[in-house]
Amino acid sequence: MNWLDEGALYSQISVFLREDLGRGDITSQAIVARNTRARGRFVAGEKMVVAGLEAAEEVFISLDSQAQLEAFVADGEEIEAGKVIARMVGFADVLLAGEQVALNLLQQLSAVATLTNRFVRAVEGTGAAIVDSRNTTPGMRMLERYAVLLGGGRCSRFGLDDGVLVTSNHLAIAGGVADAVKNAKERVGHLHKIKVQVSSEIDLREAISNGADMLLLEGLPVEEVVRLTAVTRNLSSVVSIECSGNITLQNVRAYAEAGANTISIGALMKSARAMTVTFQIQPF
Q: Bridge partners of 196?
A: 166, 215
Assign 101 to helix, strand or coil: helix
Q: Is the Cβ–Cβ distance between 92 and 38 less than 8 Å?
A: yes
d(CA 240, CA 193): 10
List the x/- string, 64-93, binding to a copy of itself by CB under 8 A. ----------------------------x-
In this structure, what is the dihedral angle of CA atoms 75, 77, 80, 81, given to the nearest 10 degrees?
A: 10
Q: Which of 118, 193, 205, 227 binds a copy of itself (CB under 8 A)?
A: 193
List the x/- string, 88-117, binding to a copy of itself by CB under 8 A. ----x--xxx-xxx-xxx-xx---------
The DSSP annotation for 233-281 comes to HHH-SS-EEEEESS--TTTHHHHHHTT-SEEE-THHHHT-PPPPEEEEE
Q: Is 250 in the site for a copy of itself (CB under 8 A)?
A: no
Q: Which is nearer to a copy of itself, 223 or 244 (CB)?
A: 244
Q: Which is nearer to a copy of itself, 149 or 223 (CB)?
A: 149
- CA nearest neighbour of 117 among 146, 79, 152, 80: 152
In the window 261-280, what residues touch a copy of itself (CB under 8 A)?
Answer: 261-262, 270-271, 273-274, 279-280
Min dist CB 96 to a copy of itself, Å, is 6
Min dist CB 71 to a copy of itself, Å, is 17
Q: Is 36 in the site for a copy of itself (CB under 8 A)?
A: yes
Longest CA span, the chain: 74
Q: Is 46 in the site for a copy of itself (CB under 8 A)?
A: no
In the window 120-149, what residues touch a copy of itself (CB under 8 A)?
Answer: 129, 131, 134-142
d(CA 46, CA 57): 21
In the window 213-242, what residues touch a copy of itself (CB under 8 A)?
Answer: 214, 240
Phi and psi, residue 71, nearest 5°: -90, 135
In the window 163-182, what residues touch a copy of itself (CB under 8 A)?
Answer: 163-166, 169-170, 172-174, 179-180
Phi-psi region of 211 (alpha: psi -120 to 50; beta: other; left: phi over 0): left
Min dist CB 84 to a copy of itself, Å, is 16
Min dist CB 56 to a copy of itself, Å, is 11
